[in-house]
């Protein structure tokens, strides 16, 4: 197994959901970068569990303890390592899951991959809890990018069949993106909040869960970032999106809708705005040929329903090699979409910064 990713920047994650702690090592950060830890903690709080009845009741402060690479408020240029101690584990809730594999989870493939030595408690290393160190790393990358005038933001595009308005393809600004970060359910159409909230709570009442989509943007990025083919902006971001548990799809710009259109409807025509080159539309999501064209990067990520549900499900007993049934107990999110937003933003920041440093 490799828990590492990156080119110019290298990230290595470690830990399990119910282990002593989880963490990350970042190699390749420039020396002398000032890090605002108050802003880092704000990002961590956006992802942290236990804030309302829309998420799991597990209480974790998600406070990163920096072990190396940071001195007197600035990066040293050496590997920056941080650990987040786990505190609120109810491992007894997972006792019977040693042999009963959970549908929709990685229990079975993990058992096969690691010959039965995998930590199954709370999903172990497969758990969405491991995204907390990614948010820590992403918060640092966001600060470096913001110093370059690059801002990343996202909102809930949908919960179930309830849709929020899409980002404007052309006119996006820092004020809107910062405003969205202040809300548990970041929406452009705030009047949709009650309907979405009730949909999540209805799923919880039924012992079930529900999914949705997240729309993310990167503004202020210059043209010419990225590469054709294997290190394209799309392939880099898609790699990182699919490294986030629960992500099952991604589309850039108009995405799959392009399959229904003609070239004349998809092409983004150019014009001069003073010395800057812009496009009248942004159907390609700010990326053509794998390289940024100076328009906002736009993409949507599909988040599947949380697989831990309290409805009775059919499964197998892997020890006795027979069919069985399972009702999952414990504390689980009825919807992960709202907590996944800072994760999506963070891995986007990680990918964009690596592309810039590797240019």
Q: Give strand pairing partners of 249.
A: 302
Is the overall model pTM greater than 0.85, yes or no? yes
Distance CA 330, CA 332 (A): 6
What pLDDT score was predicted for residue 1?
46
How many Å apart are CA 260 and CA 50, to the nearest integer? 42
**Dist. CA 337–CA 127, nearest whole Å:** 15
Tokens matching residue 353:
């910064």
Q: What residue segments make up the domains of the chain, in order of their start?
A: 4-357
- Torsions phi, psi of 295, nearest 5? -85, 165
pLDDT at residue 338 in the model? 95
The answer to whether 47 is a known ligand-binding residue is yes
Q: Binding site annotation covers 125?
A: yes
Residue stretches of the chain with pLDDT short of 50: 1
Q: Distance (Å, rounded) from C-alpha 102 to C-alpha 111?
A: 12
User: Was 308 annotated as part of a binding site?
Assistant: yes
Q: Is 46 annotated as ligand-binding?
A: no
Annotation-wise, does 306 bind a ligand? yes
* pLDDT given at position 58: 59
Q: How is domain 4-357 classified at the CATH fold level?
A: Chorismate synthase, AroC fold (3.60.150)
pLDDT tens sequence across 38-91 = 999 999 999 987 666 776 665 667 899 999 999 999 999 999 999 999 886 555
Residue 264: φ, ψ to 5°: -65, -25
SS3 string, the chain, reads CCCEECCCCEEEEEECCCCCEEEEEEECCCCCCECCHHHHHHHHHHHCCCCCCCCCCCCCCCCEEEEECEECCEECCCCEEEEEECCCCCHHHHHHHHCECCCCCCHHHHHHHCCCCCCCHHHHHHCHHHHHHHHHHHHHHHHHHHCCCCEEEEEEEEECCEECCCCCCCCCCHHHHHHHCCCCCCCCCHHHHHHHHHHHHHHHHCCCCCCEEEEEEEECCCCCCECCHHHCHHHHHHHHHCCCCCEEEEEECCHHHHHHCCHHHHCCCEEEECCEEEECCCCCCCEECCEECCCCEEEEEEECCCCCCCCCEEEEECCCCEEEEECCCCCCCCCCHHHHHHHHHHHHHHHHHHHHHCC
Q: How far apart are CA 157 and CA 162, in angstroms?
A: 8
Residue 111 assigned ligand-binding role: no
**Do the annotations mark residue 126 as ligand-binding?**
yes
pLDDT of residue 90: 54
Q: Is 228 annotated as a binding residue?
A: no
The answer to whether the annotation marks 103 as part of a ligand binding site is no
Is 305 annotated in a binding site? The answer is yes
């Amino acid at each position: 197994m490799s828990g590492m990713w990156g080119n110019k920047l290298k990230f290595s994650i470690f830990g399990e959901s119910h282990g002593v702690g989880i963490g990350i090592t970042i190699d390749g950060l420039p020396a002398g970068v000032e890090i605002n830890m108050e802003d880092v903690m704000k990002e961590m709080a956006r992802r942290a569990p236990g804030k309302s009845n829309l998420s799991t009741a597990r209480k974790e402060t998600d406070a990163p303890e920096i072990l190396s690479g940071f001195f007197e408020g600035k990066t040293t240029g050496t590997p920056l390592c941080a650990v987040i101690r786990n505190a609120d584990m109810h491992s007894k809730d997972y006792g019977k899951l040693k042999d009963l594999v959970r549908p929709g989870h990685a229990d079975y493939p993990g058992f096969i991959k690691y010959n039965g030595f995998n930590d199954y408690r709370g999903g172990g290393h497969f758990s969405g809890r491991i995204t907390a160190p990614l948010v820590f790393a992403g918060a640092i990358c966001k600060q470096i990018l913001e110093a370059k005038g690059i801002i990343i933001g996202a909102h809930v595009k949908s919960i179930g069949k309830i849709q929020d308005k899409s980002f404007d393809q052309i006119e996006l600004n820092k004020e809107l993106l910062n405003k969205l970060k202040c809300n548990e359910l970041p929406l452009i159409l705030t009047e949709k909040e009650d309907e979405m909230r009730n949909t999540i709570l209805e799923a919880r009442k039924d012992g079930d869960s529900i999914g949705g989509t997240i729309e993310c943007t990167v503004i202020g990025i210059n043209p010419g970032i990225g590469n054709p083919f294997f290190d394209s902006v799309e392939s880099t971001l898609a790699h990182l999106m699919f490294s986030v548990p629960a992500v099952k799809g991604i589309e850039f710009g108009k995405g799959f809708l392009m399959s229904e259109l003609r070239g004349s409807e998809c092409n983004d025509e150019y014009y001069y705005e003073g010395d800057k080159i812009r496009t009248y539309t942004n159907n390609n999501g700010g990326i053509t040929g794998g390289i940024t064209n100076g328009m906002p990067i736009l993409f949507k990520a599909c988040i599947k329903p949380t697989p831990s549900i309290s409805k009775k499900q059919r499964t197998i007993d892997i020890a006795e090699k027979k069919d069985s049934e399972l009702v999952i107990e414990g504390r689980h999110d009825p919807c992960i979409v709202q907590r996944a937003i800072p994760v999506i933003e963070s891995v986007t920041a990680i990918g964009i910064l690596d592309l810039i440093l590797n240019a």
